[in-house]
Amino acid sequence: MTAQILDGKATAAAIKSDLTARVAALKERGVTPGLGTLLVGDDPGSRWYVNGKHRDCAQVGIASIQRELPGTASQEEIEAVVRELNENPECTGYIVQLPLPKGIDANRVLELMDPAKDADGLHPVSLGRLVLGIEGPLPCTPYGIVQLLRHHGVEIKGANVVVVGRGITIGRPMPLVLTRKSENATVTQCHTGTRDLSAHLRQADIVVAAAGVPHLIKPEDVKPGAAVLDVGVSRDEHGKIVGDVHPGVAEVAGWVAPNPGGVGPMTRAQLLVNVVEAAERAAADLSEG
């Protein structure tokens, strides 16, 4: 038996079709959601991702506001664009594409962003709200994973989830999302300091592999029937994506999120959700005066 596929492309398409209706409703109320992006430098990978985000926006009727600076831009020049996007009423949410060039204090740039326009859900205020249980934008990849599991009927409530990794975008916020009352999972966070990773993995009903270590998760570590989500993006010598999950895992697991085609498209869909929800909150504030 090989695992069933957690199809990120199809699930993202369903989310986008729901968003298309919500964007149309907002426009009738006189609010057009707009996603801003700030790209600094000309890394082809980063440019490809940013262009993809604007293509996604066009599909659902969200306006695009694109800002670019050369890789030589100073901290002050970058911060000036952030201030402009904070004040620009056409921009209801935005991202500063990461990583920023060496020598730039990325945390200072991110803290300067208006939290009401945080499309990534990674602003310090958004992460603080997540800890406190206050409504706000959720980190795109962790919440995208929750939506991907729900869409396929994989039970999260009461599940033993092992998260491998503690990076800021996925590993660190993932347990915060999964332990909300609305998800109610039991989560173990593993990392490079974990003594016996295999022992933890073998107990897991759901594995989120976000360590960035090629083929870290082996078939013999996976409980039969478990759901395994591969979030690792390493590259081989030909530039092809190599995930954190060994291909043999598909013979043991009940569900696998392929990579590419699994979590990546969900991350992009959740970015759009955050932009639309920010615009919906702004529209509600407007009508309340």
Contacts with ligand GUE by CB under 6 A lie at 49, 95-98, 120, 140, 241, 260-261, 264-265, 267-268
Annotated ligand binding at 129? The verdict is no
CA contacts within 13 A on the Cβ side of 205: 12
CA distances in angstroms from 36 to 119, 120, 288, listed in the order given: 9, 11, 26
Please identify, using beta-carbon distances, which residue of 159 and 208 lies nearer to ligand GUE: 208
186 neighbors 161 (Cβ within 8 angstroms)? yes
Annotated ligand binding at 262? The verdict is no
Please identify, using beta-carbon distances, which residue of 93 and 264 lies nearer to ligand GUE: 264
Annotated ligand binding at 167? The verdict is yes
HEC string of 1-66? CCCEECCHHHHHHHHHHHHHHHHHHHHHCCCCCEEEEEEECCCHHHHHHHHHHHHHHHHHCCEEEE
Please identify, using beta-carbon distances, which residue of 48 and 132 lies nearer to ligand GUE: 48
Active site residue 189: no
Dist. CA 50–CA 72, nearest whole Å: 19
Q: How far is the CB of 263 from ligand GUE (least distance, A)?
A: 7
State the catalytic residue, choosing from 97, 118, 147, 205: 97
Please identify, using beta-carbon distances, which residue of 33 and 144 lies nearer to ligand GUE: 144
Active site residue 27: no
State the catalytic residue, choosing from 7, 56, 118, 120: 120
Q: How far is the CB of 154 from ligand GUE (least distance, A)?
A: 19
Q: How far is the CB of 98 from ligand GUE (least distance, A)?
A: 4
Q: Which long-range contacts (CB under 8 A, 24 or more apart) does 193-197 make?
A: 197/164, 197/221
Please identify, using beta-carbon distances, which residue of 159 and 245 lies nearer to ligand GUE: 245
List Cβ neighbours of 17 (8 Å cut-off, separation of 6 or more): none
User: Do you find a cis peptide bond into 89, omega within 30 degrees of 0?
Assistant: no
Q: How far is the CB of 49 from ligand GUE (least distance, A)?
A: 5
Active site residue 9: no
Dist. CA 203–CA 218, nearest whole Å: 14
Mode of pairing for the β-strands spanning 241-242 and 234-235: antiparallel
Report the residue number whose CB is nearest to ligand GUE: 264
Q: How far is the CB of 203 from ligand GUE (least distance, A)?
A: 28
Annotated ligand binding at 165? The verdict is yes
Residues forming the active site: 53, 97, 120
Known binding residues are: 165-167, 233
Binding residue numbers for NADP(+): 165-167, 233
